[in-house]
Amino acid sequence: MFLGVMRTTNLREAANALGLSHPTIRRRLNALEGELGLKLFERRADGMHATPEAAELLDVAEQMETLAHTFDRRARGQSPDFKGRIEISAPDVLVSELLMPTFAALIDKWPALHLHVAPSEQLADLARREADVAVRVVPHGSSPDGDLTGRRAATIYTAVYGEEHQWIGYFGDERDQGAIRSERFKDVPVACSMANTYAVWAACLEGLGLAELPCFLVEPTLSRRTAPEPWGDIWVLVHPDLRRSPRLKVVRDELVGALKKLQPRLRGRA
């Protein structure tokens, strides 16, 4: 709770992050300060401001948190039971377009497992137990950052689709022009940008312009303007402390197997 307030500087945001109510976290913070005999935060109109005493304790609190997460991961890694909650993080487009049948099969086969799937483009921190299994896309030919263990399951291919008069970007700045891989359309101007793959796809369907899109997502709704090229590799990852967990191994193996079978679609050959 101390770390939650330190990281957000706002009681309500800390409460949301910890799954507590606003009155509960305020009450517990008051109790902590009373127990320690220290004032940890100055309550101001613009939020919670750490006192010098709180700043001195931050490093120790983070070490305690790291050890607690390590204890929890290793304990979970020893459990032989095929039951309980498993947190899975994956990009939303992969969850909705490719992986849902696999999740359904896992739930049907292992009813005692509770899969909590968090579709997100943000990278979950496996060391902090934000996820037990992470499906991540990294640039083609590279490996995931960090000390995670896992397997490369498949490769996403992209191609250029849409009308040739202008580009639809993703970033809204000069990065869009730099991201154009097709020499054929290098001189076509970037007219607009959409920060979401689904939005870019919808814009192409409306004839707004060209875009580089994943083949598995947009075919056969749009015609290709270029040949598919490898863009990113899909990895299924766990923390090293959990690599021997039988139930996580089942989930990881099922996800890897499903993605391997989907490689023709990912390549644009379905």
* Residue 235, burial from CB neighbour count under 10 angstroms (0-12, 13-18, 19+): buried
CATH 3.40.190.290 segments of the chain? 84-270
CATH 1.10.10.10 segments of the chain? 2-78
Nearest partner of 126 among 144, 112, 113, judged by Cα: 144
pLDDT score, position 67: 85
Per-residue confidence band for 205, with pLDDT thresholds at 50, 70 and 90: very high
Name which of 79-83, 146-150, 183-187 the model is least confident about. 79-83
Contacts of 158 (CB under 8 A, 6+ apart): 212, 213, 214, 215, 228, 229, 231
Q: Which two tokens stand for residue 237?
A: 């990852």
Residue with tokens 């890897």: 256
Torsion of the alpha carbons at 192, 197, 198 and 200, rounded to the nearest 10:
20
Per-residue confidence band for 214, with pLDDT thresholds at 50, 70 and 90: very high
CA 178 – CA 207 distance, rounded (Å): 22
Q: Give the number of other CB atoms < 10 A from CB of residue 78.
A: 12
pLDDT score, position 183: 87
pLDDT score, position 239: 84
Per-residue confidence band for 73, with pLDDT thresholds at 50, 70 and 90: low
At the topology level, CATH places domain 2-78 in Arc Repressor Mutant, subunit A (1.10.10)
Per-residue pLDDT for 128 more than 90? no
Cis peptide leading into residue 220 (ω within 30°): yes
Task: Indicate yes or no: pTM above 0.85.
Answer: no
Mapping DSSP to helix (H, G, I), strand (E, B) and coil, where does residue 242 land? helix
Residue with tokens 């993080």: 89
Q: Where are the beta strands (DSSP E) in 105-187?
A: 113-119, 133-139, 149-162, 167-169
- At the top level of CATH, the class of 84-270 is alpha beta
